[in-house]
Structures are given as C-alpha cells and as structure tokens.
Chains A and B, each alone.
Chain A
Amino acid sequence: MIMVKNLTKSYGDIEVLKDISTSIAPQEVVCIIGSSGSGKSTFLRCLNLLEEPTSGDILIEEKNIIDKSTNINKLRQQMGMVFQQFNLFPQKKVIENITLAPIKLKKKSKKEAETQALELLEKVGLSEKADAYPSNLSGGQQQRVAIARALAMEPHVMLFDEPTSALDPEMVGEVLRVMKQLAKEGMTMVIVTHEMGFAREVADRVIYIDGGRIVEEGSPRELFANPTHERTKAFLSKVL
C-alpha cells in the first residue's frame, strides 16, 4: 500500500530524516514511536507531501508520489490526516467541517454529503453536535470531529500525528476508542503516538525512530518485550 525507499529530508543543512525505508501493507496499523524531535511528524508529513522529501521514493498504491506528474491533490484525497491540534475550521459548524471537502472535491450533493456526515458523526459518537461550532466542543470532541472530517473523503489510509497529545487525560480514551474501531474495520493507519498501551494493543507493527532513522521495527510484542537495540531499550524504559 505504502512503500518508502531511502527517504531523506533536510531543512537547510540539517538532515532530519536519514535513509528511511519501510512499507505498510493494506489494512495494517503501524505506530511510530520515538522521542520528541526525532523526525516522526516529518516522516508522516512526507507521506502526503505536506513536507517535500529531499530524496528517495514514496510509492502509494504503486504510484510514485515524488514524480512531478502525480496529482498531489488527488493523492491527498485518498489519505486522511489527523493533527495534534485538530485544526477544525472554526467559522464552520461541525457538519460543515465534514461536508466541505466531499461537496467541493467529490461533487457530492449537499444532501448526500450531510447524510454521510451524520453517519460519521454517529460513528464517532457525536450525532447531537452536528450544528455546534468547534469552539463549543471539548478537545476530545473536536478531535473526533477531525477524524470524521478526514473519513468523509473515504480515504484508503489514515495518518495520525499525535492525535491525543493535546488532550486532557480524561479525553484520551474517547479518541483512542474511535481509532481502535477504525482499525478493527480494516482501515490502513499510520499513527505517531506516545500512547504505548494503545500501540501495544492495536498496532500490527511498531516503528521506533530516533535521530531521523528507523532504529527498530517489529510487532508490538517483540519490540516492547525484547527490544534489540540499546537506544530502543533506553527509550522504552523511559516511557513504559
């Protein structure tokens, strides 16, 4: 589904991603862990070209997205993204947040888009908030709306960048529950997270990134129980 080959990314002289190669299978749930500043967000953002890779190749469903001929906007429609800061559109109601892209980009009728949005809101447990404005929702609710907004484009992959890091502890659970449900339904997901319990339970594979490199990857059982690299051990002993 996603194939990354020798990906590097530099800001000026500073190389923040170094020769990253990995692949993600359809329906796989991959969690990316690592300390702050290690390059996790940059990696995730390269996958939908919010950051432009410096070198290397990224193939999404066999298409090399580095190719100048790739329609990046079409590509992004197939890759939902959820941000740490939610980034809902504050001047639009919850339902408008969700229907905007399907109406404008998929040319859905307003009615069709709204029916779909209501289904998605039900799925994330927020049916009664359709007409609320984002500023009247809690962080956990906003993040669930953000997930619904991304799902409305019917993406093939969902990218999550620390979706629960900006939340009060009591709201983390409700967001993770939605993500767990998505995973169960077979959505392909790449999740940058500090929630080790979640990674252990939901991930098919965990990737540990440090200093812009993949240090170690494996099933959560292997990686959490028997990390082979010293750096992984050191990191895990701090967060577990």
Chain B
Amino acid sequence: MGTTLDVIKDAFPYLLQGLYMTVLISVVSIIISLVIGLIACFMRMSKYTILRYPAAIYVNIIRGTPILIQILFIYFGAPSVLDIHLSAFTAGLIAISLNIGAYNTEIFRGGIESISKGQMEAGRSLGFTYSQTMAYIVLPQAVRRMIPSFVNQLTHAIKDTSMLSVIGIAELTMVGQSIYAMNFKSFEILTMVALMYFITIYTVSLISTRLERRFVIS
C-alpha cells in the first residue's frame, strides 16, 4: 500500500479517461438533444393535435420520471420487448439525449414565446410564410436568448451521465467505483471524482454566466 499521493497518482490517468467519456457523452447528447428539442418544440406549438399530443406526452413523461428509470428502461426494458440489442454506450446516449431533449423543448418554447408577437406579424405582413418568419426573424432572436440556458443544460448532462454507471459505461463515476473496489481507498477516490466533476461543471457554468451577460442583458 502506497501513500495517499501514490493513490492519487495511480488513479488519475484512469479517472481522466472516465472524465473524457463523461464529457464526450454529455456533449454529443447535448447536440442531439438540441435537435430533439427544436422538433418537439414545433410539434408542441403546432395547431395539429396529432403533433401536439405526442410531444406533450414525451415532455411530461421525461419530466415526471427519474432519469435512472429512463436509463434502465432504454438499456434493459425497451430492447427486451422490441427484440433489439443496444450497446450500453448507445443506450446511454439515447437516454441522456431524450432526457435533456425534453427540457430543451421547454427552453425553445419559452424562448420563442418570449419574442413579441409583433415580430411574427411584421414578418407575415411583409409576405413571409410562418416558417420563413421563424427562420429569418424569430429564431435568431430567440436562440440568442437561449444560448446560456443551453450551456447550462450541459451541466445537467454532465451530472446525469454519472447515472450511466448503472449500465456499466466507463464514465467518471464508474471508473471511480472500480478503482476503490480494488484499492479500498474510497475516500480519496471519491474526493477526486467529486473534484473533477466540480471543476468541469464550474467551468461550464462560468462560460454560461459570461454568455448570459453578453447575449441576454445586452
């Protein structure tokens, strides 16, 4: 058994790999969740019930259930019925993307609704279609206001990925667990894990605050 310093030195490269996986899944799922959010948002705002209802059900189910259940459901539950096989990585990516996507749906909706109705009317009165007005006039303004919220969603994604340890993805939490399972230094390892999460999340939220100052207040 080495000193605490040795423990840290030995564990660090593995934990760094875990952090890499955490950040990778978080960033990729944020990107996917933006697409999901935008689509679901327009479905929610549609005048057609057939589009509105599925989107509302999706958002409410995600917001009304624990993320852990969502992960287990997508990795174990759904494949067993649908007779497909998902790798843990794919299942994890899907689960986090769907989860964040539901929250992004509401961010998009709030952002679009925060742009005054007059902007839509001005666009329509010039002869733009609804979609053109959205694309050229409303969305660019709304997205500007939403950027800090999306960056903030990244901090949620980073925290949520720690749940993926239950399906065996080698992200930061999982790697930490396997290390102290072998060396029994749970205090040291978990402190390192927590610190690494903290630094990553803190950095992201600093960026978010900066962007907020730049985009929302001006």
Q: Which residues from chain A sit less than 8 Å from chain B, CB to CB?
A: 48, 50, 73-77, 79-81, 83, 85, 87-91, 100-101, 104-105, 146, 149-150, 153
Contact = CB atoms under 8 A, between A and B. Distances in A.
Interface in B106-140: 116, 118-119, 121-122, 124-129, 132, 136-137, 140
Given A50-B121, A83-B118, A100-B136, A73 B144 contact: no
A180 to B, nearest CB: 22
A101 B121 CA distance: 14
B126 A76 contact: yes
Given A91-B140, A91-B141, A77 B122 contact: no
B124 A50 contact: yes
B118 A104 contact: no
Contacts of B128: 73, 101, 104-105
A87 B141 contact: no
Nearest to A50: B121
30 contacts: A48-B125, A50-B121, A50-B125, A73-B128, A74-B127, A75-B127, A76-B124, A76-B125, A76-B126, A81-B125, A83-B118, A83-B125, A87-B116, A87-B118, A87-B122, A89-B141, A91-B140, A91-B141, A91-B144, A100-B126, A100-B136, A101-B128, A104-B132, A104-B136, A105-B127, A146-B122, A150-B125, A150-B126, A153-B126, A153-B127
A87 B118 CA distance: 6
Nearest to A78: B127
Interface residues of B, number: 17
A77 B129 CA distance: 11
A77 B140 contact: no
A83 B129 contact: no
A77 B126 contact: yes
A87 B140 CA distance: 15
Contacts of B132: 104
Given A87-B119, A91-B141, A101-B128, 18 more contacts: A73-B127, A73-B128, A75-B127, A76-B127, A80-B125, A83-B121, A83-B125, A85-B118, A88-B122, A89-B119, A89-B122, A90-B141, A91-B144, A100-B137, A104-B132, A104-B136, A153-B126, A153-B127
A83 B121 CA distance: 9
Contacts of B122: 81, 83, 87-89, 146
Contacts of A150: 125-126
B211 to A, nearest CB: 16
Q: Which 9 A-B pairs have the closest CB atoms?
A: A77-B127, A87-B122, A81-B125, A87-B118, A101-B126, A76-B127, A73-B127, A105-B127, A85-B118
Given A91-B140, A91-B144, A104-B136, A73 B129 contact: yes
* Residue of A75, A77, A83, A89 most packed against chain B (CB within 10 A): A89
A146 B126 CA distance: 11
Contacts of B141: 89-91
Nearest to B137: A89
Nearest to A76: B127
A79 B128 CA distance: 12
A90 B122 CA distance: 12
Contacts of A81: 121-122, 125
Contacts of B118: 83, 85, 87
A181 B122 CA distance: 23
